[in-house]
Amino acid sequence: MRYTQGVSSRFHTWLYLLGLTAAVFTGCTNKAAQQGFERPPAPVTVTEAVMQDVPNYIDAIGKTVAREVVSIQPQVSGRILKIHFTDGSNVKKGDLLFTIDTRPFEASLRQAQANVSKDLALKKQAEANLAKDLAQSKYGEIEAKRYATLVEQGVVSREQYDQIHSNAESLKATVEADKAAIHSAEESIKVDTAAVDSAKVELSYCYIRSPIDGRAGQRQVDIGNVVNPGGSSGGGSGNTGGSSGSSNSLLVIERIDPIYADFTIPQDNLAVVQQQMRQGTLKTEVRLPDATDPIAGQLTFLDNAVQSATGTINLRATVANSDHRFWPGRFVNIRLVLSTIHGAVLVPATAPQMSAKGSFVYVIKQDSTAEQRQVTLGQRQGDLVVVEKGVEPGERVVTIGQIGVTPGGKVRVQPPDQAGAGNGGKQ
């Protein structure tokens, strides 16, 4: 038994020494391997930093608004006889839209014109009477003067003179009556001429025309409906399911070229906007959310007060819209260009990375090693971003493959497609 225990003890001692020797040998081997290992260059794509003039801007979300909105309403009562446009069509200023039954207004016009003709005839008659009575009055006056002389000479009696004098005074009164008749006829002519003009205006209201260039909406009446100024239309419109009785609007036309783009900015940006406006009109870039190419416009309105509830201020840009790309009520992206930054340094927006210390880029030096640079970024300019501090024009920065780069490590520059494939498309 003692012999067996001694053998077992020596066997365990031997195993322990053998394991210790193997561990020491393995550690030395790993250390040697680490000292002789060199990491292969990381495949990357690089782009040179460029210098160019770029805008300083404010981005906002806005909504397009028609420049003019006109509600077409009847100005006379009558039945709709014709509709001269198609719902949703483009109309020009002066285009005929509706025709109201003209017969009652034509009759009123003829009556007013007849009254004027009658007044002219009365005036002509009064003028003829005046001419005749004026001649008689002059003769009577001469006779009265002659009889006055004869009375003084004792040729005629006082009674004859008084009769002639009385006749002369009567003729004078007749002349004044004729003048009054002419004046009355002239006043009647003025009144009836005004009635003619009024009848012509009312007749013209039977032809309802577009007051602006724009796009027609959905008509609210059909042929045969009776319309009234300031009231509801008689009968329901087939387009609205009989809802036309709720309003006397026949049609709404909106002018959408040019079009407005309304938006807001925080009040903190108001001072810089006002400062730039003093130097001239500010430009804008407006685009739809699903479009890439913006349309240039101008800032044409700055509200006179900050909205107390939101702390924002309303602005409006005017944009050309000849192709009707923008539609009233749609949301749009608006860029308000404040100024131009001259000689800005730009790199692709994919180059900057984030770390605990902030943004950085990898700059590739002449010896193909990567230097990690902390950078201060400015505004994005499309696919590029402004680097305010940290990179000089012409320096090469890594745009694809940053995940495989180590500060001070070697890199292998290759085309974008190869670098993206080599890194599994990750950056």
pLDDT tens, residue by residue, 21-40: 544 444 444 544 445 556 78
pLDDT tens, residue by residue, 372-421: 999 999 999 989 999 999 999 999 999 999 999 999 999 999 886 654 44
In this prediction, residues 9-30 reach a mean pLDDT of: 51
CATH fold of 74-101+206-249 reads OB fold (Dihydrolipoamide Acetyltransferase, E2P) (2.40.50)
CB of 291 closer than 8 Å to CB of 277: no
Question: Would you say the C-alpha torsion 185, 190, 194, 196 has a positive or negative sign?
Answer: positive
**146: Cα separation from own chain's centroid:** 88
The Cα–Cα gap between 128 and 367 comes to 119
Domains of the chain, by residue range, sit at 42-52+343-422, 57-64+258-342, 74-101+206-249, 104-204
Q: For the domain 57-64+258-342, what is the CATH superfamily, name and number?
A: Efflux pump adaptor protein, beta barrel domain (2.40.30.170)
Q: If we measure between CA atoms, which residue out of 362, 412, 365 comes closest to residue 39? A: 412
Angstrom CA distances, 113 to 12, 71, 200, stand at 139, 33, 10
Tokens of 302: 């700055």
Q: If we measure between CA atoms, which residue out of 276, 300, 231, 274 comes closest to residue 55? A: 276
pTM recorded for the entire structure:
0.68
CB of 191 closer than 8 Å to CB of 128: no
Q: If we measure between CA atoms, which residue out of 378, 353, 355, 373 comes closest to residue 363? A: 373
The Cα–Cα gap between 67 and 95 comes to 19
Tokens of 135: 């001649």
Tokens of 404: 């495989």
In this prediction, residues 86-97 reach a mean pLDDT of: 96
pLDDT tens, residue by residue, 130-165: 888 788 878 788 877 887 788 777 777 788 877 877
CB of 213 closer than 8 Å to CB of 91: yes
In this prediction, residues 86-92 reach a mean pLDDT of: 95
**54: Cα separation from own chain's centroid:** 26
pLDDT tens, residue by residue, 238-261: 444 333 334 689 999 999 999 999
Is the preceding omega at residue 229 within 30 degrees of 0, hence cis? no
CATH class belonging to 42-52+343-422: mainly beta
